[in-house]
Amino acid sequence: MEDYVVTQRGLTRRDFLRSGGALVVSFALPGCVSSVAPATAGAPFPAAGGVWPAKIDAASLDSWLAIGADGGVTACVGKIEAGMGIGTAFTQIVAEELDVPLERVTIVMGDTATTPDQRGTGSSNGIMTGGAALRRAGAEGRAALLELASKRLRVPVAELAVRDGVVFVAADPAKRVAYGELVGGQRFDVKVSEKPKVKNPRDYRVVGQPVPRLDIPPKVRGEYRYVADLVVPGMLHARVIRPPEAGAQLVRVDESQRLPGLLKVVHQGNFVAVVCEREEQAVEAARALHVEWSKPAPMYWTGYDALFEHLRSAKPKVTKADAGNRGDVEAALAGAARVVEARYDYPFQSHASMGPACAVADVREGGAIVWSGGQKPYPLRHALAELLQLPAEKVRVIWMPGPGSYGMNDADDCAADCALVARAMGKPVRLQYMRHDATGWDPKGPPATFRMRAALDASHAVRAWDCEARGFSGDIRPSGTDVAGDTLAGQLTGRKAKSKDAPQFPEEGYDFPAKRKVSHLLPWDHSLGTGLRTAHLRDPDGMATCFASESFADEVAYAMGVDPVEFRLRHLGDPAHAAVVKAAAEKAGWRSHTAPRAPRGRVVRGQGLAYAPRHGSLVAVVADLEVDRATGGFRVTRFTVAHDCGFVINPLNLRGTIEANLMQAMSRAKHEAVRFDGTRVLSVDWLTYPIIDVTEAPDVVDIVLVNNVAGAKPVGAGEPTTRPVAAAIANALHDALGVRVRRVPFTPESVLAAIRA
Amino acid sequence: MARTIDFTVNGRRESVEADPRTPLLTVLRNDLGQHGPKFGCGLGQCGACTVHMDGVAIRSCATPVSSARGTHITTLEGLAGAGTLHAVQQAFIDEQAAQCGYCINGWIMTAAALLASNPHASEQEIRRGLSGLKCRCGTHMSILRAVRLAQARLGTARTA
């Protein structure tokens, strides 16, 4: 079996450490250089029989890089590229600290055998944790190379300078030596000290620049290799067959049925798959195979009204209170001159990634290699080891790019399914889902319902703010695949998911005398193994909680007779929070108002703002839109975003990421709710799960970067813009129409119903 | 039953043995090594599988390979000329018009066919012409910029 390495330029043979000479930077002993590199780099793996280190521990070995005799730099990081350009940002960071050209840097990500376990990508922390580790490793590498150069050139380090991977004497640039020459054919192991001397951000030349993404040229040429494009010699093709109804049990499967190319029917518990020689045969066999299932009792509700009624009334498994709760909310509500109250509902949503998940697996006696497109290959490795009953050392997960990834989509499920099938075959197997497997069975973003209340006194001041969230228990909402029970294959073979109870609190910075947020989490364990089980979807719970909280902020502002922007500026104590609100309002040309416009004519305009903090990032969004009062249809004509994620590594990438967050979040706000009946998920393709169309794209997106200064710590940008979008649109609809939509999605029917109510 | 089907892919004559009902996409990807077109839905709903058949953008996931007999197929890999990218490809790079990039084949191939048949397409015609293609990451703004840029460059090239 070939030994693969995935870089942002695609899939290549692993050879970067095969050449003997390298200066290798690691964070601790013994490190992956001494223990991993010889085992993996010295020779090709025996067929799927490799033994890989139990853990390349991020805590003790954050990251490493190698500078080869040719001057090329290879950096490894425990993150993955989800399509937002993080590979390019990492390249910039390494090139900056080492003073080498961008094209000399190769980033390796997401291979559990060769890259440090940073869990993977999630929570928009790639730059914060992955970038910080690479920065330190790069700085240490540069210092070590300067030491070597100092000896070679017989000049103190302080008198040396570096440019494009060449060290020279500052006063006499003719005296020079390239990194590659310094390394020569020798091997140097360098440990990263406690506090490596990283560059002062004011001296950056590459970081902070709008470097074009390295992955885009191969993507537009059709040369970028996704996991779906991987061809392993001799691989077979598989497809899965899911229960037709939630909770249905497998009664009988016809293993003797003769179908073209059918090699085997693999089944265990309620997991069923077919394996064929050719892909189209597997597609056909999955359709044609006779499988008998039991008829289960309905597990779902008749629709969203019934679901939200259940969420509002069922007994919680656990209730959590926010750490920031303060004051006597009950007393304030009891003594209020006026209580403002509203309920908001947020539905199930699908990741609905562009392509159904795909995985390739080779599972043999000696071990397992699984190629997967999921965001978190490191925990997945342990879940697969559990599923396959192998020690972790015998399992290697190699990430390859997937078809879009916004949390925990169907990728890990597919990897687990593929591993089970490959084990049964003893040969490499490629398994790709069909569209109905992907949309119908991916773990869904969870629904929630909120009851918001505010107590106003006689002078219209807010005395108390109250948020009661009701949703499903975090125990069925895993943030990653940590155990076999977190995968569909695990659940269909009788395992349970495991995660911690995550409360659904809105994040905001309003200063009110009394404040209370509680989150009731309801049990629904029996949804496991069905198409409505839930998991993290981009900015988990953030869109839902912010939709409630920021819609309500507008409702309270109107009740007080205060302009919505003025309301926020008045109550946001932290100037950084107020800064994004102010910046967005100014850029958008905020039209100050204390009441909605009086709608006249068929097409009316509205403007709405919402803001959100997210784990240290801050975003405010203004939506300008036009609504057709006759149809209820609307189009956002302009988005204005003020975005504070600290110092920006690559403003060009950031723009693309912000715009994409806006479009995806607008899609979710306007269109998306997973349809279901009592026993089935009815959203199974793009007709039954519609998303945004290009005809709906705004005319303009304006972005203001706030706090983008050299000293500001870079924080996450992958998700924050998503958070306030639904609320900004709802607030703009209210401005236009004078009515509230309090349930996502804002379909023409629901807008029309609000107009007519 | 497998049949022999002959057609041209990116200027090269190919002969494949396949069940005639097999989607053209599957044959392109698995038998002819063309990985530009992607499997997105298998239902003709998303456009990730788009290729040109005799210059017309078609959805290869919903086209049986038998109907490719005798035609000229162009995939994303074959869109570029010798040593130079198609104007649409170059514009997608210049406008950074991709996130995960899985759908981008469909947008590039559809936009190239659109601008070839309607070089002076208005903004509305561009949007309508690209309507029905899906992009889950939400790259729409930069895609629209890229198509406008390609249109402007193609116009410049024609008048020059």
Taking only residues 324 to 383 of chain A, the set having a beta carbon closer than 8 angstroms to any beta carbon of chain B reads 352-356
Global pTM reads 0.94
Residue contact B143–A694, C-beta within 8 A: yes
Residue contact B85–A220, C-beta within 8 A: yes
Residue contact A686–B43, C-beta within 8 A: yes
Task: Output the pLDDT for position A37.
Answer: 31
Length of chain A, in residues: 757
The dihedral through the CA atoms of A697, A698, A702, A705 has a sign that is negative
Once rounded to an integer, what is the mean pLDDT over residues A402-422? 96
In terms of CATH architecture, what is B87-159? Orthogonal Bundle (1.10)
B110 vs A: CB within 8 A: no
Q: Is A204 a residue whose pLDDT tops 70?
A: yes
The tokens describing A138, both together, are 């790069």
A277 vs B: CB within 8 A: no
Helix (H, G, I), strand (E, B) or coil at A225: coil
| Domain spans, chain B | 3-78, 87-159
Omega cis (within 30) before A196: no
CATH domain B3-78 topology:
Ubiquitin-like (UB roll) (3.10.20)
Q: Is A552 a residue whose pLDDT tops 90?
A: yes
Q: Which residues of B touch A434 (CB under 8 A)?
A: 42
Residue contact B144–A697, C-beta within 8 A: yes
ipTM score here?
0.97
Question: Among B66, B61, B155, which Cα is nearest to B106's?
Answer: B61
Task: Output the pLDDT for position A336.
Answer: 98
Q: Phi-psi category of A253—alpha, beta or left, where left has phi over 0 and alpha has psi -120 to 50?
A: beta
Which residue stretches of A624-705 are H helix? 651-670
Distance from CA of B70 to the nearest CA of A (A): 22
Once rounded to an integer, what is the mean pLDDT over residues B55-62? 98
- Picking from A58-72, A462-476, A606-620, B65-79, which range would have the lowest pLDDT averaged per residue? A58-72
Q: In terms of pLDDT, which residue wins out, A221 or A85?
A: A221
Taking only residues 641 to 700 of chain A, the set having a beta carbon closer than 8 angstroms to any beta carbon of chain B reads 652-653, 655-657, 659-667, 685-687, 691-695, 697-698
Place of tokens 């790639």: A126
Residue partners of A703: CB distance under 8 A and separation at least 6: A640, A641, A642, A643, A655, A658, A659
Q: Is A743 a residue whose pLDDT tops 70?
A: yes
Residue range A630-683, pLDDT digits in tens: 999 999 999 999 999 999 989 999 999 999 999 999 999 999 999 999 999 999
Rounded CA gap, A73 and A206, in Å?
A: 16
B108 vs A: CB within 8 A: yes
B92 vs A: CB within 8 A: yes
Distance from CA of A53 to the nearest CA of B (A): 30
Question: Among A631, A655, A588, A620, which Cα is nearest to A727's?
Answer: A620
Q: Which residues of A486-522 are buried (b: 16+ CB within 10 A; e: fewer)?
A: bbbbbbbbebebebeebbbbbbbbbebbbbbbbbbbb
Q: Which residues of A617-646 are buried (b: 16+ CB within 10 A; e: fewer)?
A: bbbbbbbbbebebeebbbbbebbbbbbbbb
What is the set of domains in chain A, with CATH numbers?
4-221 (3.30.365.10), 227-295+354-441 (3.30.365.10), 304-350+447-527 (3.30.365), 548-756 (3.30.365.10)
A436 vs B: CB within 8 A: no
Best of A235, A354, A721 to disrupt the B interface (most B CBs within 10 Å) is A354
Task: Output the pLDDT for position A4.
Answer: 46
Task: Give the confidence band of A65 by pLDDT, cuts at 50, 70, 90.
Answer: confident
- Nearest-by-CA chain A residue for B106: A220
Q: Which residues of A touch B128 (CB under 8 A)?
A: 695
A599 vs B: CB within 8 A: no
Q: Is B20 a residue whose pLDDT tops 60?
A: yes
Q: In terms of pLDDT, which residue wins out, A231 or B158?
A: A231
Once rounded to an integer, what is the mean pLDDT over residues A182-188? 80
Residue contact A435–B40, C-beta within 8 A: yes
Q: What is the distance, to the nearest Å, from the Cα of residue A694 to the centroid of all Cα atoms in its chain?
A: 23
Residue partners of A389: CB distance under 8 A and separation at least 6: none
Task: Output the pLDDT for position A20.
Answer: 52
Q: Is A19 a residue whose pLDDT tops 70?
A: no
Q: Is B80 a residue whose pLDDT tops 70?
A: yes
Once rounded to an integer, what is the mean pLDDT over residues A457-486? 94
Distance from CA of B49 to the nearest CA of A (A): 10
Averaged pLDDT score across all residues of chain A: 90
Q: Is A687 a residue whose pLDDT tops 90?
A: yes
Q: In terms of pLDDT, which residue wins out, B154 or A192?
A: B154
Q: In terms of pLDDT, which residue wins out, A480 or A60?
A: A480
Q: Which residues of A367-402 are buried (b: 16+ CB within 10 A; e: fewer)?
A: bbbbbbbbbbbbbbbbbbbbbbebebebbbbbbbbb
Q: Which residues of B touch A221 (CB under 8 A)?
A: 76-77, 80, 85, 89
Distance from CA of B131 to the nearest CA of A (A): 6
- Picking from A79-88, A247-256, A512-521, A584-593, which range would have the lowest pLDDT averaged per residue? A79-88
B85 vs A: CB within 8 A: yes
Task: Give the confidence band of B36 by pLDDT, cuts at 50, 70, 90.
Answer: very high
Asked if residues A673 and A348 have their Cβ atoms less than 8 Å apart, the reply is yes
- Nearest-by-CA chain A residue for B41: A435
Residue range A663-677, pLDDT digits in tens: 999 999 999 999 999
Helix (H) or strand (E) holding A724: none
Task: Output the pLDDT for position A596.
Answer: 85
Distance from CA of B39 to the nearest CA of A (A): 6
The dihedral through the CA atoms of A653, A655, A661, A666 has a sign that is negative
Taking only residues 220 to 249 of chain A, the set having a beta carbon closer than 8 angstroms to any beta carbon of chain B reads 220-226, 228-229
Task: Output the pLDDT for position A42.
Answer: 27
Task: Output the pLDDT for position B141.
Answer: 98
Residue range A429-448, pLDDT digits in tens: 999 999 999 999 999 999 99
B45 vs A: CB within 8 A: yes
Taking only residues 501 to 540 of chain A, the set having a beta carbon closer than 8 angstroms to any beta carbon of chain B reads none
The number of C-alpha atoms within 13 Å of B91 and in the hemisphere containing its C-beta is 22
Q: What is the distance, to the nearest Å, from the Cα of residue A485 to the centroid of all Cα atoms in its chain?
A: 21
Q: Which residues of A touch B137 (CB under 8 A)?
A: 83, 354, 404, 660, 664
Q: Are strands B3-9 and B12-18 parallel, antiparallel or unpaired?
A: antiparallel
Taking only residues 111 to 130 of chain B, the set having a beta carbon closer than 8 angstroms to any beta carbon of chain A reads 127-128, 130
Task: Give the confidence band of A157 by pLDDT, cuts at 50, 70, 90.
Answer: very high
Task: Output the pLDDT for position B160.
Answer: 52
Rounded CA gap, A626 and A602, in Å?
A: 10
